[in-house]
Structure 1
């Protein structure tokens, strides 16, 4: 059971820096190896990440979530969800033009990035998302982060459950790419493996191969409607 002192709600623009710090610390030994292979990110880079989060909330309709420990009023975990749907409100499916336009564009490299590595990452994920999701609308979990000292309190599960409930309300599938260690938690929320993805950092000067499991949660209506 989740810790009753934890509470999930939407992140506000003024909290973007707090979310950034949680993300950075959580990803320090994993995803940061892809984002910043050339060294610890500078304050300039961290400020840019904060600005991107704030812009996502304010201008792009991205659903950033926070999980707060109410005993200390601090953010201990966060998530980034997106609802991808047809532009035409009467349409059941997206057009292929909308699919291609909606795939995550290659991120402009940070000073500490390897542009070729970032391109490889987004090409890997985009190709698989296009194949699995095709034109169907969906909720997608881009990011889930929990500070290491607050793991096993149920924060991550609460943030995943929030998005699953939204997907059920809309009657659409949910999709994500999980680390191997996180996959069992997602499976408990009804996600099923639909493929394995590999990114060999050794081709870009790194020292390991990162593996991800693509996972899909079938669409269903609330109360089985």
Structure 2
């Protein structure tokens, strides 16, 4: 059941910095340890993340979402969805060139360990290629909700937005979940496909990072 106090809508380019700060705060105890393993990100790095978000909205067709508390107007969470679809109108599959073009490894941040970042993306890309092949799909890249606003339904609303678009397009939805986040995604029809482990110990972490790869089947006829 949707929370009537909350609203999900597309993020505006001028809201990119606000989204970045929510993402940074939520990821501080988890993914930030991978992204910024050499220390707290500088303002230069935060500005780069903001600009990457803005560019994704304006030029790359990435769906950045915000969840707003209607009573206060406060942005309390956000998400990043991407639709990997064929460039050719009417095509049912992507070309392999299109598939490979989506597997670029981003330039590390100043506070990143380049080897760790490369290993992360290679691990995720290899498994995504094996699981999805050249089929079109929606993918949830990021879903974050401020801790003080958890358990209000914001995360579910951000996930449901992409699931509905995947259903409309008749394609699968895919994500890489943390062990903690997987049960919430399962409630939206995502099924675990594989559990993988990123070797972060050799880069100084106490434990390796684990992800559950999850796939939500296509619903071509739009039925629930």
User: What TM-score comes out, normalization by structure 1 length?
Assistant: 0.97
Give the deviation of 1:200 after TM superposition: 2.0
Give the deviation of 1:70 after TM superposition: 1.1
Q: Say what the alpha-carbon RMSD is for the aligned residues.
A: 1.2
Conservation of the 8 A alpha-carbon contact between 1:39 and 1:112: yes
Give the deviation of 1:222 after TM superposition: 5.1
Aligned to 2:64: 64
CA distance in 2, matches of 1:121, 1:132: 17
Aligned to 1:195: 194
Conservation of the 8 A alpha-carbon contact between 1:64 and 1:78: yes
Aligned to 1:75: 75
CA distance in 2, matches of 1:222, 1:79: 26
CA distance in 2, matches of 1:175, 1:223: 18
Aligned to 2:38: 38
CA distance in 2, matches of 1:9, 1:76: 12
For residue 87 of structure 2, give the secondary structure of its aligned residue in structure 1: coil
Give the deviation of 1:87 after TM superposition: 1.1
Residue by residue over 1:146-185, the C-alpha shift from the partner in whole angstroms, topping out at 9 and shown as x without a partner, is: 1111111110000000000000000000000000111111
Give the deviation of 1:106 after TM superposition: 1.2
Give the deviation of 1:207 after TM superposition: 1.7
Aligned length in residues: 224
List runs of 5+ in structure 1 lacking aligned partners: none
**1:131-170 equivalence runs, <5 A:** 131-170=130-169
CA distance in 1, matches of 2:102, 2:53: 18
Conservation of the 8 A alpha-carbon contact between 2:8 and 2:67: yes
CA distance in 1, matches of 2:93, 2:3: 38
The answer as to 2:84 corresponding to 1:84 is yes
User: What TM-score comes out, normalization by structure 2 length?
Assistant: 0.97
For residue 176 of structure 1, give the secondary structure of its aligned residue in structure 2: strand
List runs of 5+ in structure 2 lacking aligned partners: none
**1:77-116 equivalence runs, <5 A:** 77-103=77-103, 105-116=104-115
Give the deviation of 1:3 after TM superposition: 2.7
Conservation of the 8 A alpha-carbon contact between 1:86 and 1:95: yes
